Amino acid sequence: MTCRYPSTSPFCAAPPLSPDAEDELPNGYLRRHTWRSGAYVQIELARLQEALEGDPQILGITADDAAQHFIALVDRGATQDLSAVAERLELFQPTIPLVVRPSCRSGGELRRALEVIQRGEFHPRAAEVELLYSLDVANGRYDVLADRAGADVARTLQTELGPLVKIEYRPFGHHGRFDDGEPHYGAAAIESNTGNCTAGFVVDWGLIRGAVTAGHCLGFVGEDVFSGPEFWGEATLFPANTTSWDMVFVGPSFPPETYSPRIHTDPCCPSTRPVTAKVAPAVSQIVCISGRNFLAKCSVEILRMETTRTIDGRNRANVWIGKRAGVNIGAPADSGAPIYIPVGSGNAAIVGMHIAGFLAAPFDETWFHAVGDIEAQLGVTVAF
């Protein structure tokens, strides 16, 4: 399929749709999504986004439901002309309708906006207030969700960044580990048609925020993930070698889900912790695990790392072993649970992610992948 460049005018927003575009069809899809609802589209989108990850000239891919094509938005300040970018994209042989257009904002503007939001220097209370943000590449801005308690912080951010952000004030809160609403946290109980597992921790895949869990928890790209009645995301990216590495990136779908860099650490104290750091595992470290079966358990000692451990017939690479003798810490459905270190009275540092253990009690060991391997194999970074 040819990658076209139909217009040199910047794409700043999707055009209006017909009045019946929001009608729900018998198959559960909205009418406007019919053209891109097939599984192959989701798989191809994931392939293209992975291929384009890190491309300095392409800010992202968005959908135009009126024209029924996807748009690769090129940095307005890019040095290559659109025809050259389109020719380069054709090398990936896209099988979905894809066009190239300039973005509404330059990559420099969006990177500056992200830096301002993340550094939090625009207001003295910025570190105390949780602002949920995600890139709206189609509109060339970051959408920010703020609670009324943080209204003064959000107003200052709006003044600082102007049209580079859109602030929405809505009350939001968490529903708990077993019905993990938005913003989604790590260590939530999650389910799919493949099975029941536990979410790991929130990560960023380029400009896309999502979370990781164990790879065997999901069967294919595009598989839906739930937490109780709450839609939680969809399988977006597996590692290149799924035999050695048991991990998957769960990302937002349409409409996009939001994720906050916290993990559930109930039953107590506190019941959730913001993730503020990451730490490489080491022998003799004392860590915690937070899974759906036994909740948060600490005093787990890291015993060793095995460069290869065969689990369910697959030779998994770089598997760390942690143990709390005689105490149940990780059983089936705890796969994906975060391994972490408490930081101070309320924060957490991510160490890794539980992938396996014993199938009969006592479930007193965790076998896990290190945070560095997860980042490297999926091309993600832990979100703070």
List the single range of 25-39, 136-150, 229-243, 288-302 with lowest mean pLDDT: 25-39
The per-residue pLDDT for 242 is: 97
The per-residue pLDDT for 177 is: 65
The per-residue pLDDT for 204 is: 96
- Regarding pTM above 0.75, the answer is no
Q: 107-169 adopts what CATH topology? A: GMP Synthetase; Chain A, domain 3 (3.30.300)
Under the banding of pLDDT at 50, 70 and 90, the label for residue 1 is low
Which phi and psi angles does 116 have, rounded to 5°?
Answer: -60, -45
Q: Quick check: 43 pLDDT over 80?
A: no
Give CATH 3.30.300 domain extents, the chain: 107-169
Give CATH 2.40.10.10 domain extents, the chain: 184-262, 269-371
CB contact at 8 A, 376 and 382: no
Of 35-39, 67-71, 215-219, which one has max mean pLDDT? 215-219
* Cα 114 to Cα 48: distance, rounded to the nearest angstrom: 24
Say if domain 269-371 classifies as CATH 2.160.10.10. Answer: no
Per-residue pLDDT tens digits for 187-213: 999 999 999 999 999 999 998 999 999
Percent of the residues in the chain that have a pLDDT greater than 70, as a whole number:
92
The per-residue pLDDT for 212 is: 98
240: left (phi over 0), alpha (psi -120 to 50) or beta: alpha
Per-residue pLDDT tens digits for 324-334: 888 899 999 99
* Average pLDDT of the residues of the chain: 87
* Cα 311 to Cα 356: distance, rounded to the nearest angstrom: 8
List alpha helices for the chain, DSSP H: 39-52, 82-90, 107-119, 151-161, 371-378
List alpha helices for 149-274, DSSP H: 151-161
Q: Quick check: 336 pLDDT over 80?
A: yes
Per-residue pLDDT tens digits for 238-262: 999 999 999 999 999 866 789 999 9
Per-residue pLDDT tens digits for 10-36: 888 888 899 998 887 765 557 888 888
Q: 184-262 adopts what CATH topology? A: Thrombin, subunit H (2.40.10)
